[in-house]
Amino acid sequence: MEQQNLRDVKKGENKEEGIGEEEALASVDIWKYVFGFTEMAMVKCAIDLGIADVLHKNGGSMSLSELSSSLNCPPPTLYRLMRFLKHRKIFSQTQTSHGTIVYAQTPLSRRLSSHEEKNLAALILLESTPIMLAPWLGLSNRIKGKSASAFDAANGEDVWSYASNNLAHSKVINDAMACDARVVVPQIIKECPNLFDGVSSVVDVGGGNGTTSSILVKGFPWIQAINFDVPHVVSSNVDYNEQVQHVGGNMFESIPKADVAFMKWVLHDWGDEECIQILQQCKEAIPKDNGKVIIVEAIIDDGTKDEFEDTRLMLDMVMWAHTTNGKERTLKEWSYLLKEAGFCQYNVKHIQAVQSVIEAFP
Ligand SMILES: C[S@@+](CC[C@H](N)C(=O)[O-])C[C@H]1O[C@@H](n2cnc3c(N)ncnc32)[C@H](O)[C@@H]1O
C-alpha cells in the first residue's frame, strides 16, 4: 500500500514536471531504435560462430572454458557476447558452486541450430547479408517516389534478376525459404488435415528448392508434387524424392498442370497486376470443375490480434525494401485479386503461423 502511494506520488511529481508516464517510457524505448540493429548483428554472430550447434553436439550445455576452446574464441570475448545474448534469453547462463560459468540452450537458441528442424538461422543469414540490408538505407527515397525500387537502387537490378546472376546469393535465398517451409508447412499439415482430400497432384508454384513439395508429399502421401520455379533454382534442388518432380519455367507464361496450384510466399513479392497474371496462369493449370489454388500468405489488418501481428507488419516493410511492388495484403485486397483473376469462391483458415491458408476455387 505504501509502495503504491509512493508510485502515485512519483507519477504526480512527473506530471508536475511535465514528464508523464509515456514520456518516461519513451526516453527508455527510443534506445531500442538507436541500437536496434545490434540484436540482428549479434544473433548473426552466434550463428556464424556456430554456438547453438556446438552446444547441441555437447548435450546442450557447456562451461565458458569448454565453449571457448571448441569455438576457438578467447573466454573474455566470448563471455561478453554471451552476456548480451543471455540478456535476450538466447542461451542461459548459470554458475556452479565452484564459480564455473555454464551456458545452456534455450527455446530461442535452439532456433539458431542446424540440428533443430524448425530453426530460422538461414533466414536470419539472408536478411543480414549486405545485399538485403542495403535497400533499407534508401527506402525513404522509394517511399517519396524518387526510386521505383529500393532493391534495384541499391543493387542495380531486381531481387530475382540479381539472384539469377549471383547463384551464391540465390542459394542463400533458397536455403532461407526452405527453413520457413520447414516451420509453416508442417503446421498446415497439422491444422488443415483435409486440405488435399480427393487431390492426386499439386504444383508448387515458385516452390524454391522443393522443400515444401517434399514435406507435402510426406504429410499427404497419396499426392504427386511438381516443384516449379525458374530453371536455375529447380536445378539446384538437393532433395531426391520420387514423388516430387522438378520443373523449370516462368510462372508468368505457363504453369504445369495439376489438381491444385500451391503458392507460398510468392504473390507477396508482386504488385496487383502481376499477381492477377500469376493467378490466371494457375487457373489455366488446374481443372475447371474441381481444381483449386492454395495461397499461403500473411493477411494483415483483419482484426486477428495474435502474436504474429507485428511480424506480419514487419514483413510488409521487408517487401517494400526487397521487391518492386510486393506487399502484404488485407483480406479485402486478397479478395480483389482473386475476383479479378476469375476465382468465384474462397475460404480462409488462420493457423498458428505468420501466414494463413487461402483456398480459392474457379
Ligand atoms: C519468396 S520465394 C518463395 C519460395 C517458396 N515458395 C517458399 O516459400 O519456401 C519466391 C520464389 O519465386 C520464384 N520465382 C520468381 N520469379 C519466378 C518466375 N517468373 N517463375 C517461377 N518462379 C519464380 C523465386 O525463384 C523464388 O523461389
In angstroms, what is the C-alpha Rg of the chain? Answer: 24
Q: Which stretches within the chain are classed as H helix? A: 2-16, 21-34, 37-49, 51-57, 64-71, 75-87, 107-110, 121-127, 130-137, 139-144, 150-155, 159-165, 167-191, 211-219, 231-234, 272-285, 309-322, 331-340
CB atoms within 10 A of CB 211: 24
CA dihedral 42, 115, 177, 108 (to 10 degrees): -40
Per-residue model confidence as pLDDT tens digits over 167-224: 999 999 999 999 999 999 999 999 999 999 999 999 999 999 999 999 999 999 999 9
Cβ of residue 266 lying under 6 Å from some atom of ligand 1: yes
Tell me: domain 37-110, CATH 1.10.10.10, correct?
yes
pLDDT attached to residue 1: 39
Evaluate whether 109 touches 51 at the Cβ level (below 8 Å). Answer: yes
Q: Which of 160, 239, 294 to mutate to test the pocket of ligand 1 (most atoms within 8 A of CB)?
A: 160
Helix (H, G, I), strand (E, B) or coil at 264: strand
Instruction: Return the residue whose CA atom lies nearest to atom 19 of ligand 1.
Output: 250
- Residues of the chain falling short of pLDDT 70: 1-19, 238-239
**Quick one: which atom of ligand 1 is closest to the CA of 268?**
1
Q: Which pairing describes strands 92-95 and 101-104: parallel, antiparallel, or unpaired?
A: antiparallel
Evaluate whether 99 touches 58 at the Cβ level (below 8 Å). Answer: no
CA of 170 to the centre of ligand 1 (A): 11
All CATH 3.40.50.150 domain ranges in the chain, comma separated: 180-361
pLDDT attached to residue 38: 97
- All three cell numbers of 52, joined, read 547453438
- All three cell numbers of 113, joined, read 541450430
All CATH 1.10.10.10 domain ranges in the chain, comma separated: 37-110
Tell me: domain 180-361, CATH 3.40.50.150, correct?
yes
pLDDT attached to residue 236: 80
Rounded to the nearest 5 degrees, what angle is found at the Cα of 41, between the Cα atoms of 37 and 45?
170
Per-residue model confidence as pLDDT tens digits over 28-66: 999 999 999 999 999 999 999 999 999 999 999 999 999
pLDDT attached to residue 14: 52
pLDDT attached to residue 7: 46
Q: Is 268 a catalytic residue?
A: yes
pLDDT attached to residue 16: 53
Cβ of residue 326 lying under 6 Å from some atom of ligand 1: no
